Amino acid sequence: MTKILVLYHSNTSNTKRMAELIAEGASQLSDAEVRLRSIEEADHLDLAWCEGIALGSPTNYGCVSWQMKQWWDQQPIENWGQRDGKIGCVFSSAGAWGGGQEWTCMSLLSILINYGFLVFGLTDYSGVRFSAHYGAIAAGPPEEDREQDACRRLGLRLAEWTATMIHGRTESHPLNQTYDRFKDLGQ
């Protein structure tokens, strides 16, 4: 089984909805076991269990929510260095486009890197001139098809990379898939 954790904090349910879509995408890979957890219900045992993680936070004043930062700051120090080599990706929602979602994604990636996760973004396009290069993003709730597709693809890609890198399942490698990776480059 490929063990995927979708861990999130949400203020208004927008980031929670993104997390649900990402979990849905990760579940598309056969043999994927997916846990969807808010930081209120998750603990260090979930981090120990997972092989891949999608980490999400609302964008608060252009950055990660203080609750998400605090959750990581309070992880037991004896677990430091015990996550090396796991796979990670990120997502965020803000109140408007240009609200700092990509900056928040970069901050979340930095947290994962510091814990030893191998991180990635998507090269795929989920809509015209729309991709999740740094992570899936939305302005408000993920209502548009392109936002929902980016979330699902991020979850699927997390499961694919985890199956490939952790379990050696080369058939799961993203470049071995036949789905459309570039819906419309908008050119």
The full DSSP string for 141-169 is S--SHHHHHHHHHHHHHHHHHHHHHHH--
In a domain, 184, yes or no: no
Distance CA 23, CA 99 (A): 24
pLDDT at residue 185 greater than cutoff 60: no
pLDDT score, position 138: 92
Q: What is the mean pLDDT of the chain?
A: 91
Which of the four pLDDT bands, split at 50, 70 and 90, describes residue 76?
A: confident
Give the integer Cα–Cα distance in Å for 161 and 186.
Answer: 27
Per-residue confidence at 32, pLDDT binned at 50, 70, 90? very high
Residue 68 located in a structural domain: yes
**pTM to 2 decimal places:** 0.93
Single-letter code of the amino acid located at 11: N
pLDDT at 52: 98
Please check the confidence at residue 187 and state whether its pLDDT lies above 60: no
71: domain CATH number is 3.40.50.360
Examine residue 181 and state whether it is found in any structural domain, yes or no. Answer: no
Tens of pLDDT, residue by residue over 131-146, are: 778 899 999 999 988 8
For residues 40-66, give the mean pLDDT.
96
Tokens 């240009």 sit at which residue? 98
For 151-166, how does the pLDDT look when each residue is reduced to its tens digit (9 = 90+)? 999 999 999 999 999 9
Indicate if the pLDDT at residue 78 is higher than 80: yes
Residue 183: inside a domain, yes or no? no
80 vs 19, residue with greater confidence:
19
Residue 131 exposure: Cα atoms within 13 Å on the Cβ side: 14
Do the beta carbons of residue 172 and residue 160 sit within 8 Å? yes
Whether 135 and 59 have beta carbons less than 8 Å apart is answered as no
- For residue 52, being part of any structural domain is answered with yes
- Whether 59 shows a pLDDT value over 50: the answer reads yes
Residue of 72, 104, 73, 80 lying closest to 90 (CA atoms): 104
Residue pair 87/161 in contact (Cβ under 8 Å)? The answer is: yes
Q: How far is CA 123 from its chain centroid?
A: 14
Q: What domain range is 153 assigned to?
A: 2-176
Residue 37 covered by a domain: yes
**pLDDT of the residue at 186:** 47
3-state helix, strand, coil in the chain (%, to 5): 40, 25, 35
Instruction: Say if 43 falls within a structural domain.
Output: yes
Beta-carbon contacts of 114 under 8 Å, excluding residues fewer than 6 positions away, are none
> Total domain count for the chain?
1
Give the chain's end-to-end CA distance (angstroms, integer). 40
Look at residue 182 and tell me whether its pLDDT is greater than 80. no
Question: Quick check: is 182 in a domain?
Answer: no
